[in-house]
Structure 1
């Protein structure tokens, strides 16, 4: 009787053990990615598996410019979520962004080469990626005799701010044409306007001779037939193939949480490729959800295509080359003090292992 009872117990244990082996293990979540941005729970040995770390809520600055669209697309398409990030968008001007990068409140922000002098002066940030090509244009009144950089000698150019990207882009173009762009005794004068619409009014009434501005306003005015575009950072032969809008990363986050920085860049790269492959859908999202001041979807599509958001092969080498180019250019026109431009360029670009 005891022998029979023991035999029954052993059989039961064997069956229970078999059932345990067939059951999934609770509490272990594996994320599988198919390379296209979608993810699902899966334990198939043939699937590519990747455990996603939860980085919690992370703040990202928003500006209303089309340049920052990859941040918005990464939010809307769930690319941040796929990387374990809960995004929170907050409004921030240029100075707030610099402070945020310094303290680590903002892990990244988008920005142009205008940040280079700020880095030289101590802002603790580095270029960690890129977003797109040129988005700055210089407009003159329709039918103006001003056609070239040389024609602007002795003239006044409107800008959004002294030291901003349109200001620096204009100086790079003028300096390359041989004009003196000394900030105090240069061949041109600059007049800042807080409101771009007021800048265009000043152009029409003759208060300024040219207006250097971010898109979309120059393009909108060109389509209306009120201005001629004499410089386009995105099509000018010396600038057209170069990134002008970079991704700046907080040095604090790069050092203390490199995994978080890599996750953010992966999400933004997915968003960039989405914009490049689906400009119409991306434009609809950006305009309808008011992520940008642009309300014309067709115009947004055109600019998305012009800016070339696609992630490129061996992009790190391209970014490094463009950083070096703009550092050298800014040094030549007196906006950087360093005597070692090559060393400075290498210092401010940090390649992140994705």
Structure 2
């Protein structure tokens, strides 16, 4: 999340060579780390009566952009709001089942969840999580400088229909290049291992590699590649949430105060991260929430994701519903969604009163 969990094989070898786990915002689980899932701030948890009892939240996929989950857990924000949280590993399918039956009340993920909503998975967008975390790389000496140069070229992705594929398709179509296979203006080639995708770029088998962060940033930092697209800064996507918080429709209907309390915990964590990015990254490293050793890069990325602060929530008030509509419209225009965007938003988004349950 953002299958938001990197979709990259060979994680162990990569962690050794790069010191970083390749993950995106939500998706395939990885092996359990040594993290025992016991919050460091146990004093907070011990003082709190758990109004909402025990709940499971997917938070062991190692995604760096999932920092709000780790901080809400580790700093006791979930506990303050009445939850005895267990962080679990969960595949995309497990998440959908849990959201449908209410056993998993909330997850984070990118707009790849949208087709699932269209197919009647009972889940709604309830808040924004952060801005972009995908980069497109070319070789440092490549003449390619932007989208206008991509016609007739080969683009590496993690999977057909995945978020990098969707993002690339929107980017191309917005700039007058068809992303439809039948038109043959670009060719998408899937790689289930990010290392293989980069190797293909190095060999010239593909011209562009569409990569999740932090892997994309790791490759950029080697100096062998240059970035031609950054999801968080490109005008097509800048200033918009690419990753959202999705709540179980069943829980929203039966216990709206529970979702409101969870969102308050996430908001506290997002604000804390915005104010303390270096300390947030140190917690991630120390507690092994994500296998990352390059603290400087991690801090840079955490700042880059633009987690909304208290000021953003109360003053700027980025419009989550408007962002859902924007991406629904773009995905509809390229054929990934079949539902009229306005109708889709009515089905997919619900604004939650954060005062509920207080």
Q: Could you say which residue in structure 1 is the equivalent of 2:349? A: 349
Counterpart CA distance in 1 for 2:181 and 2:123 is 25
Counterpart-to-counterpart distance in 2, 1:316 and 1:101: 27
Aligned counterpart in structure 2 of residue 103 of structure 1, from 97, 101, 106: 101
1:126-149 deviations in Å (ceiling 9; x for gaps): 100111111111111111111111
Shift of 1:203: 1.1
Map of 1:323 onto structure 2: 324
What is the TM-score when the length of structure 1 is the normalising length? 0.82
Alignment equivalent of 2:169, drawn from 155, 168, 171: 171
- Give the structure 1 partner of residue 250 of structure 2: 252
CA distance in 2, matches of 1:184, 1:73: 45
3-state secondary structure, aligned to 1:313? helix
- Correspondent of 1:88 among 81, 86, 89: 86
Query: Match for residue 23 of structure 1?
Result: none
Aligned match of 2:313: 313
**Counterpart position of 2:194:** 196
**1:233-244 alignment runs, 5 A limit:** 233-244=231-242
For 2:183 and 2:95, the matched residues in 1 are separated by 31
Q: Does 1:336 align with 2:337?
A: yes
Q: In the TM superposition, what whole-angstrom CA distance separates every residue of 1:126-178 from its partner, at most 9, and x where no partner exists?
A: 10011111111111111111111121112221112222211111111111111
Q: C-alpha distance in 1, partners of 2:71/2:199?
A: 33
Question: Matched residues in 1 for 2:302 and 2:84: separation?
Answer: 26
Partner of 2:56: 59
d(CA) in 1 for partners of 2:261, 2:106:
12
In the alignment, does 2:138 pair up with 1:140?
yes
Alpha-carbon distance in 2 for matches of 1:128, 1:228:
35
Partners of 1:129 and 1:319 within 8 A in 2: yes
CA contact 2:68–2:273 (8 Å) conserved in 1: yes
- Is contact 2:45-2:79 (8 Å) kept? no
- Provide the rounded CA distance (Å) in 2 between the counterparts of 1:173 and 1:293: 31
Local SS of the residue matching 2:226: strand
Question: Displacement, 1:346?
Answer: 2.7
Question: Any idea what the Cα deviations from partners look like across 1:75-102, whole Å, max 9, x if unmatched?
Answer: 1000011111011111123232222222
Contact 2:232 2:305 in 1 (8 A): yes
Of 277-286 and 155-164, more deviation after overlay is shown by 155-164
Larger Rg: 1
1:286-305 map, 5 Å = 286-305=284-303
Residues 273 and 280 in structure 2, CA contact (< 8 A), matched pair in contact too: yes
Q: Tell whether the 8 Å contact from 1:287 to 1:295 is kept in structure 2 after alignment.
A: yes
Distance 2:207 2:350 in 1: 40
Matched, 1:78 2:79: no
Q: CA deviation at 1:256?
A: 1.5
In structure 1, the residue corresponding to 2:289 is in which secondary structure?
coil
SS in 1 for 2:269: helix
Q: What is the Cα deviation at residue 40 of structure 1? A: 11
SS at match of 1:114: helix
Q: Distance in 2 between matches of 1:278 and 1:118?
A: 35
Q: CA deviation at 1:317?
A: 5.9
Greater CA drift, 69-78 or 302-311: 302-311
